[in-house]
């Protein structure tokens, strides 16, 4: 299992797939798989509490790590984000679609989206970084 996969969230994400990822991550953590244990330090805010494996991993730990790996602070916020992404024309789905256009280098798509919704220029990501589209443009 690749626990450090930072691939973008698809346009039509499946919450069940992320639940499955969390369960697979939990199994990998309980089996003390090296890659999964390394990801604890990267994605779990209380990673020091697992030092020496004195604390048992729970499903909520794996869910938190899946959420943080995808740029959200918590599992409930991640689920809310996913719910917003799948809603056509929601602020979140439009922002994510515009950000994806930037990352793909699809200037025509971005221009069309900004013409249809000029407010996207001031919109911010729901993810922890809270970036605007200009940040995506600068990074890409």
What does pTM read for this prediction? 0.79
Residues 19-47 pLDDT 10s: 999 999 999 988 889 898 888 888 988 77
In this prediction, residues 112-128 reach a mean pLDDT of 93
Look at the block and give the residue holding tokens 């244990």.
37
CA-based radius of gyration for the chain:
17
């Amino acid at each position: 299992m690749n626990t450090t996969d930072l691939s973008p969230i698809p346009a039509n994400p499946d919450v069940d797939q992320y639940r499955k990822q969390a369960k697979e991550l939990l199994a990998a953590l309980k089996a003390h798989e090296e890659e999964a244990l390394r990801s604890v330090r990267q994605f779990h805010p209380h990673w020091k509490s697992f030092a020496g494996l004195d604390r048992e991993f729970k499903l909520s730990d794996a869910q938190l790590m899946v959420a943080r790996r995808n740029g959200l602070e918590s599992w409930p916020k991640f689920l809310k984000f996913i719910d917003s992404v799948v809603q056509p024309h929601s602020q979140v789905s439009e922002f994510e679609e515009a950000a994806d256009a930037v990352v793909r280098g699809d200037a025509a798509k971005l221009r069309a989206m900004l013409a249809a919704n000029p407010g996207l220029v001031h919109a911010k990501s729901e993810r922890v970084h809270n970036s605007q589209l200009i940040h995506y443009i600068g990074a890409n």
